[in-house]
């Protein structure tokens, strides 16, 4: 029970395929008390998924781009618990014209939406929850897709994720004196609603396991959820400002074209 007694906020639960749903289930199984957030038309989906969790859980309305919503959730957390020990930021969105190879022609309106929703919202929620964390410390975890390289099709969402990674480091700097750790988790591709909305995602997910030394199952979010548990637990008390990869080792592998006459042309030579 790594999280016994912890009070945690979980954003981003939509369906049971959501990474955030797997995380919420794992957090409860490890003893945490949680609340979920959602807003607008997604509230119904989140409430339906919440009923599938091991323990009953409330869903609070929070549009992460609306300061009034964050303030309202902060007030509810203060009234309900008096403190919060951490939260999971599982929020990302980019308009369709910001994805799929349209990088040179995407409007600023779409770019700003992607960056505000997918990156700036981490700072906004952290600032909103700070009054309930600064006396005793805690942990913040966000979901990333390694933005150190330019991915095909990912375009401005990749730029937003690069911003998220940078915001993670700056929050780690400013919140560390309060005992608050801030980390981001770079997961391999998983078949979620968000993933399915990215053009060409299927091809990326299908080929991931071939390169990852541990393999990769794009329908299994439990390795990611278990790492979220660890990062929100006191076992990770010395880790902050970090990007943790949970991708089967894909990120560590190089690639090169086959060399004529080399092992790629003569598989038997490897025996």
Q: Residues 85, 8: contact at Cβ < 8 Å?
A: yes
At residue 256 the predicted structure's pLDDT band, cuts being 50, 70 and 90, is low
CB neighbourhood size of 220 (10 A): 13
Q: What is the mean pLDDT of the chain?
A: 92
Q: What is the largest CA-CA distance in the chain?
A: 70
| The dihedral sign for the CA sequence 78, 79, 82, 83 | negative
**For the domain bounded by 7-270, which CATH number is listed?**
3.40.50.720
Report phi then psi at 61, rounded to 5.
Answer: -80, 125
Q: With a cut of 80, say whether residue 121 has pLDDT above it.
A: yes
3-state secondary structure of 242: coil
- Please give the angle made by the CA atoms of 87, 170 and 27, to the nearest 5 degrees: 15
Q: What is the pTM of this model?
A: 0.92
The token pair that represents 117 in the structure block = 């929703």
- Could you give the residue numbers annotated as active site? 154, 161
3-state secondary structure of 241: coil
Cα–Cα distance measured from residue 156 to residue 150, given in angstroms and rounded to the nearest whole number: 10
Q: What is the per-residue pLDDT across 223-254, written as a single tens digit (0 to 9) for each?
A: 999 999 999 999 999 999 999 999 999 999 98
Average pLDDT over residues 121-129: 98
Residue with tokens 């278990």: 226
Extents of the domains making up the chain: 7-270
Residue 160, Cβ density class (10 Å: 0-12 exposed, 13-18 middle, ≥19 buried): buried
pLDDT of residue 263: 43
Q: With a cut of 70, say whether residue 265 has pLDDT above it.
A: no
Average pLDDT over residues 56-70: 98
Q: What is the per-residue pLDDT across 130-181, written as a single tens digit (0 to 9) for each?
A: 999 999 999 999 999 999 999 988 999 999 999 999 999 999 999 999 999 9
Strand ranges of the sheet holding 243-246, from the earlier edge strand across to the other edge? 59-61, 33-38, 7-10, 86-89, 138-144, 180-187, 243-246
């Amino acid at each position: 029970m790594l999280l016994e007694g912890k009070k945690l906020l979980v954003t981003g639960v939509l369906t049971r395929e959501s990474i955030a749903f797997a995380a919420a289930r794992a957090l409860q199984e490890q003893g945490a008390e949680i609340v979920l957030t959602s807003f607008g038309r997604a509230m119904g989906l989140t409430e339906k998924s919440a009923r599938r969790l091991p323990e009953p859980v409330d869903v609070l309305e929070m549009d992460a781009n609306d300061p009034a919503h964050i303030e309202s959730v902060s007030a509810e957390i203060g009234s309900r618990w008096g403190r919060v020990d951490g939260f999971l930021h599982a929020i990302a969105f980019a308009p369709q014209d910001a994805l799929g190879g349209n990088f040179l022609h995407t409007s600023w309106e779409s770019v700003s939406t992607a960056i505000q929703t997918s990156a700036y919202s981490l700072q906004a929620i952290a600032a909103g929850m700070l009054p309930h964390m600064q006396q005793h410390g805690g942990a913040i975890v966000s979901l990333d897709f390694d933005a150190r390289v330019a991915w095909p099709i990912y375009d401005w969402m990749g730029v937003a994720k690069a911003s998220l990674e940078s915001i993670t480091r700056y929050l780690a700097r400013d919140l560390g004196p309060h005992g608050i750790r801030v980390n981001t988790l770079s997961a391999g591709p998983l078949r979620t609603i968000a993933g399915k909305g990215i053009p060409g995602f299927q091809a990326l997910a299908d080929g991931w396991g071939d390169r990852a030394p541990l393999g990769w199952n794009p329908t299994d979010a439990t390795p990611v959820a278990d790492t979220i548990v660890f990062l929100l637990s006191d076992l990770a008390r010395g880790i902050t400002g970090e990007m943790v990869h949970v991708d089967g080792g894909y990120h560590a592998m190089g690639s090169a074209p086959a060399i004529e006459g080399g092992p790629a042309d003569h598989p038997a030579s490897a025996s």
